[in-house]
Structure 1
Amino acid sequence: MYRRLVFIALFLTFTVVVLGAFVRLSDAGLGCPDWPGCYGQLSPAHASEQIAEAVAEAPHGPVSMPKAWKEMIHRYLAATLGFGILVIALLAWRRRQDANVRVGIAIALVGVVIVQGLLGKWTVTLLLKPAIVTGHLIGGLTTMSLLALLALKAAGGQRYGVSSGLLRWARLSLLVVIAQIVLGGWTSTNYAALACTDFPTCRGSWWPAMDVANAFHVVRELGMTAQGDLLSNEALTAIHWMHRLGAAVVTIVLLVLAFRLIAAGRRAMGAAVAGALVVQVCLGIANVLFSLPLPLAVAHNAGAALLLLTMVVVNERLLPARQWGWVGRRKHENAYA
């Protein structure tokens, strides 16, 4: 049951992350402007009168029945996931002597989910502040990564002893992917994905005019500078262009990792890294060339999650067999004491 729940939760987390991107990209993040219900009701159907009034006041505003359902379905799935993770933590604690259970990670996941719930609330109540929305995305991907570690341990499988140089490069690759995902989240939450509509240049230049200071000022309202002025096109350009530069760095680092994995005899891993990278790069370019169609934009978010999962699996499997988590190491030592 524990193993099945972990894998179900991992799949559900991926679904919630992708659905969250769909909600954000379809401008449904404020489809229900309160939390956790919709106008204090269990579902949009129960809040139909309030939604109709909001639509009458602002026909093109953030509230509508379809947007409300998108938002609430995302919340229902997230709540289900949170309950599932709590059950996983309880089962992990009961089976803490099992070498295939990482009780420390399972308990940490409960804390992550609590923070995620708060970030989900603040995303709505603080009106889509970029820092909060980006943090919410990072929290979802953190949840997914930790569940992947639980799933890998629960499934067993082999760890490969590789050279320390290759292991360090794999860790570096994971870090640059994480940094790029954060940049991508910042680009999306600031609606800067179309700040550059040409490729490979931006606004016809290899180094366009940019306002980096305001672009990466964290504490501010959506579309505004910290001083309360409208965020300029130069600031949006800076956000977009930095994400592109990050993509170039990720491409170089991950291609080196893929070739090193293949050279070390880990051809399947190398092919998985290269394949996930190529798909993600192509989706990113297509989003620019085709002006961010919703299916491609959501697919780009899903590709980022899959690339992160790939890097988590690679890093876990490349660890020497003798390396364990802190709980697992203690059990391993006690077994031979």
Structure 2
Amino acid sequence: MKLPVRVATLAIGLALVVVLLGGWTRLNDAGLGCPDWPGCYGTWVLPDDHTELAAAHPDALIDLRKGWIEMIHRYAAGTLGLLVLWLAVLGYRYRERAEYPSALSGGLLVLVVAQAIFGMWTVTLQLLPAVVTLHLLGGLSTLALLVVLRQRLLRAEAESAPTRSHPWIRVMFLALFIQLALGGWTSTNYAGWACSDWLYCHQDNHPGYDFSTGLNPFMAVGPNYEGGLLHADARAAIQVTHRAGALLLIFVSLLGTRALWRRPELRRGLAAYWSLLLVQVLLGVANIIWMLPLGLAVAHHAGAVAVMLALLHLNGRVRKPAGEINHGYAIAH
């Protein structure tokens, strides 16, 4: 089991880099830094001088900086794909061992292939918000499942009994997933600065909220969505919905913490989770007050990833053998 654990650990580190690079690419408006896929202007390595590219692509506005940001993200994602393929091969090799998570290894490979397709659609469909949001969620899911894979490999190495997660952890994950999806939808529709007030979302010229338009995932295919195409009322509706999701996550986390706090071995993990969650809330408020500066926006993106990883770590600590968790849950309530 040592080799699969090492490969999974390496893949987790690279997946974290890929997710952060994806946020950096999006926040630098470099999602269309390369007008084609998988290369960039028909090449795998951008030249130092854009003169040659300008001659070959006279109708394109060439920005080598944005092109390199996008290509570095693709290089990292491609390398991650090779590591996931390695894990899938190892899963096939050890498929006869009942405790080995072979199905999860294979599922991760399918997810990474789907991620590559969504990466292509991100470019060919010109940052269609639904596609970009699903691409973000796919990246986060890849990172999360790699962490789960490593946890299962370690349990298999220790020959531990099969386990199930605590019901409240699952509810917290659901609330977090909803909030991550809303955060992605806010970002891909450029609604982060839709509200001029951090508390009430006050709008001087647009007092209403257009939820039907703002939360509609079915948008026209064809237009270039860089910069966002929704009107102010729709973007404000997205922003306040994202804030409502944050409140939901905090409320669910309070209930989950109340149920889990009675276990002393979980208190340090819960404290870390809450510390990161509160910092994330403060970063969100700061982004509104200072109108989404790049540094704070990147920190907010990284904070969301950190909250997810903290909850995954807590899930690894809270798991019990399948026969024990329901009994313990019944006693606790």
Does TM, normalized by the shorter one, top 0.5? yes
Judge conservation of contact 1:211–1:234 (CA < 8 Å) in 2: yes
Q: Partner residue of 2:272?
A: 272
Q: Partner residue of 2:128?
A: 129
Judge conservation of contact 1:88–1:106 (CA < 8 Å) in 2: yes
Q: How does 1:59-70 map onto structure 2 within 5 Å?
A: 63-70=62-69
AA at the equivalent of 2:26: R
The whole-number CA distance in structure 2 between the counterparts of 1:196 and 1:159 is 50
CA displacement 1:169-205 (0-9 Å, x = unmatched): 2211110000000000000000000001211111169
Q: Partner residue of 2:70?
A: 71
The verdict on how the C-alpha distance between 1:230 and 1:45 changes in structure 2, with shifts beyond 3 A counting, is closer
Task: Report deviation, 1:64.
Answer: 0.3
Is 1:92 equivalent to 2:91 in the alignment? Answer: yes
The whole-number CA distance in structure 1 between the counterparts of 2:269 and 2:222 is 41
The whole-number CA distance in structure 2 between the counterparts of 1:158 and 1:234 is 56
Task: Report deviation, 1:234.
Answer: 0.2
Q: Partner residue of 1:318?
A: 318
SS at the partner of 2:166?
A: helix
The whole-number CA distance in structure 1 between the counterparts of 2:114 and 2:294 is 28
Q: Partner residue of 2:330?
A: none
AA at the equivalent of 1:8: L
CA displacement 1:232-280 (0-9 Å, x = unmatched): 1000000011001111111122133234322232212211221221121
Deviates more, 1:183-192 or 1:92-101: 92-101
The whole-number CA distance in structure 1 between the counterparts of 2:283 and 2:55 is 39
The whole-number CA distance in structure 2 between the counterparts of 1:3 and 1:64 is 40
SS at the partner of 1:263?
A: coil
The whole-number CA distance in structure 2 between the counterparts of 1:158 and 1:56 is 62
SS at the partner of 1:198?
A: coil
Q: Partner residue of 1:11?
A: 13
User: Identity percentage over the alignment?
Assistant: 40
Q: Partner residue of 1:330?
A: none
CA displacement 1:260-304 (0-9 Å, x = unmatched): 322232212211221221121111111111211112111111111
The whole-number CA distance in structure 1 between the counterparts of 2:279 and 2:36 is 37
Q: Partner residue of 1:305?
A: 305
Judge conservation of contact 1:161–1:319 (CA < 8 Å) in 2: no
Is 1:286 equivalent to 2:292 in the alignment? Answer: no
The verdict on how the C-alpha distance between 1:161 and 1:87 changes in structure 2, with shifts beyond 3 A counting, is closer
Judge conservation of contact 1:192–1:237 (CA < 8 Å) in 2: yes
Q: Partner residue of 1:33?
A: 35
Judge conservation of contact 2:101–2:152 (CA < 8 Å) in 1: yes
The whole-number CA distance in structure 2 between the counterparts of 1:158 and 1:197 is 55
AA at the equivalent of 1:271: A
SS at the partner of 2:142?
A: helix
Task: Report deviation, 1:54.
Answer: 9.1
Q: Partner residue of 2:329?
A: none
The whole-number CA distance in structure 2 between the counterparts of 1:104 and 1:130 is 31
Q: Partner residue of 1:261?
A: 260
SS at the partner of 2:255?
A: helix
Q: Partner residue of 1:216?
A: 215
Judge conservation of contact 1:160–1:319 (CA < 8 Å) in 2: no
Judge conservation of contact 1:286–1:296 (CA < 8 Å) in 2: yes
Task: Report deviation, 1:153.
Answer: 1.8
Judge conservation of contact 2:111–2:142 (CA < 8 Å) in 1: yes
The verdict on how the C-alpha distance between 1:317 and 1:131 changes in structure 2, with shifts beyond 3 A counting, is same
Judge conservation of contact 2:15–2:80 (CA < 8 Å) in 1: yes
| TM norm structure 1 | 0.84
The verdict on how the C-alpha distance between 1:275 and 1:295 changes in structure 2, with shifts beyond 3 A counting, is same
Task: Report deviation, 1:101.
Answer: 3.1
Task: Report deviation, 1:125.
Answer: 0.7
The count of aligned residue pairs is 315
Judge conservation of contact 2:261–2:267 (CA < 8 Å) in 1: yes
Is 1:146 equivalent to 2:145 in the alignment? Answer: yes
| TM norm structure 2 | 0.85
Is 1:45 equivalent to 2:47 in the alignment? Answer: yes
Q: Partner residue of 2:295?
A: 295
Deviates more, 1:313-322 or 1:25-34: 313-322
Judge conservation of contact 1:52–1:64 (CA < 8 Å) in 2: no
Task: Report deviation, 1:217.
Answer: 1.5
Task: Report deviation, 1:93.
Answer: 1.8
- Aligned CA RMSD, in angstroms, stands at 3.1
Deviates more, 1:144-153 or 1:124-133: 144-153
AA at the equivalent of 2:50: S
Q: How does 1:157-172 map onto structure 2 within 5 Å?
A: 167-172=166-171
The verdict on how the C-alpha distance between 1:230 and 1:8 changes in structure 2, with shifts beyond 3 A counting, is closer
AA at the equivalent of 1:109: L
SS at the partner of 1:272?
A: helix
The whole-number CA distance in structure 2 between the counterparts of 1:208 and 1:289 is 19
The whole-number CA distance in structure 1 between the counterparts of 2:99 and 2:298 is 34
Please list every run of 5 or more consecutive structure 1 residues that lacks an aligned counterpart in the other structure.
Answer: 324-337
Judge conservation of contact 2:7–2:83 (CA < 8 Å) in 1: yes
CA displacement 1:43-92 (0-9 Å, x = unmatched): 1128833544599867xx5x401100000000000000001100111012
Alignment equivalent of 2:23, drawn from 21, 24, 27: 21
AA at the equivalent of 2:151: L
